Copies of this chain bind each other. A is one copy, B any other.
Amino acid sequence: MRKPIVTLTTDFGLHDPYVGIMKGVILTFCPEAQIVDISHEVQPFEPGQGSFLLSQSWRYFPTGTVHVAVVDPGVGSARRPILVEAAGHTFIGPDNGVLAMVYAGVPHKVRVITAERYFLKPVSQTFHGRDIFAPVAACIAGGVRPSSVGKEIDDYLKADWHEPRRISKRAWGGLVLHTDRFGNMVTNFHVEQFQEIQLRPFDLLVGTRHLDRLAHSYSEMTPGEPFLIVGSSGYVEVAANQGSAAQLLGCGTGSPCELHLF
């Protein structure tokens, strides 16, 4: 039988013992769990970035996987812990947007986590990753049914900051969702929604540069010249062959961009 998988996405970094502690708790509650790190280098206090990283990753895990996301500047406040069921996967985290890009695209059910019998006690005011999210995830991985952690709710945080806004008939305002290690800037223009960029002329303004070339692979382009490419996630990326597009353009995560279709 397949061992249950638990993935972790946090802003804890890898210097501190927080991630190791969460893994200890998970393995205590669910010894057979297989734990996989998505990223612990989410920008501190930026749930939206965590949401993006998880949204890129979860579909590559088998159904039944439990995904924990802890980017939690409001820990200890009134924000609620939630559990989301979507596409056969389970997602657990605070109700602050860190799961918003995950459930934006698929049918889903959201529950507020209230069943304290699954918590590690006493629950601290500063580390719910250890005391609430890790043990609940481990229990779900171990077979506890989602319905037993709390009631379904409808008033969870819905966010659409990651959607392009139409600014005229043939123009959209967007933004850079993420800049990766190579300096590729992932925009929020998804190829499914903007198929036309593969068919006809366009102009993407990022920083002070107008880009109008869509490449099929990095290696066909001249080093040092920024261009667009449909990234591995389906989002249009601003890239440069063997160089950092972010550095070339002086832009990065959060930078606005503007797409014109002709």
Residues of chain A touching chain B, judged by Cβ–Cβ distance below 8 Å, are 2-3, 5, 7, 11-21, 23-25, 27-28, 31-32, 34-41, 44-45, 53-54, 56-58, 60-62, 65, 73-77, 124-127, 130-131, 178, 180-182, 216-220, 229-232, 242
Cβ contact within 8 Å between A15 and B39: yes
A182-B44, A219-B76, A231-B126 known; A5-B27 Cβ under 8 A: yes
Cβ contact within 8 Å between B15 and A180: yes
Copies of this protein in the assembly total 3
CA distance A178 to B131 in the complex (A): 21
CA distance A76 to B40 in the complex (A): 29
A16-B181, A38-B20, A232-B127 known; A61-B242 Cβ under 8 A: no
A5-B27, A36-B27, A62-B31 known; A53-B16 Cβ under 8 A: yes
> Which residues of chain B are within 8 angstroms of A2 by Cβ–Cβ distance?
31
- Of chain B, the residue at the smallest CB distance from A180 is B16
Closest 6 CB pairs of A and B: A76-B217, A127-B232, A24-B60, A77-B219, A20-B38, A13-B181
Cβ contact within 8 Å between B13 and A75: no
- Of chain B, the residue at the smallest CB distance from A79 is B219
A74-B219, A75-B219 known; A36-B24 Cβ under 8 A: yes
For the A-B complex with A28-B61, A124-B232, A126-B229 known, give 9 more contacts whose Cβ atoms are closer than 8 Å. Answer: A14-B39, A16-B53, A20-B37, A21-B60, A24-B60, A28-B62, A44-B181, A74-B219, A76-B220
Cβ contact within 8 Å between A61 and B15: no
CA distance A178 to B17 in the complex (A): 11
Cβ contact within 8 Å between B57 and A15: no
> Which residues of chain B are within 8 angstroms of A181 by Cβ–Cβ distance?
11-13, 15-16, 44
Cβ contact within 8 Å between B60 and A39: no
> Which residues of chain B are within 8 angstroms of A44 by Cβ–Cβ distance?
181-182
Cβ contact within 8 Å between A242 and B39: no
The CB with the most chain B CB atoms within 10 A, among A12, A15, A61, A73, is that of: A15
Cβ contact within 8 Å between B53 and A17: yes
Q: Which of B17, B37, B41, B126 contacts A38 (CB 8 A)?
A: B17
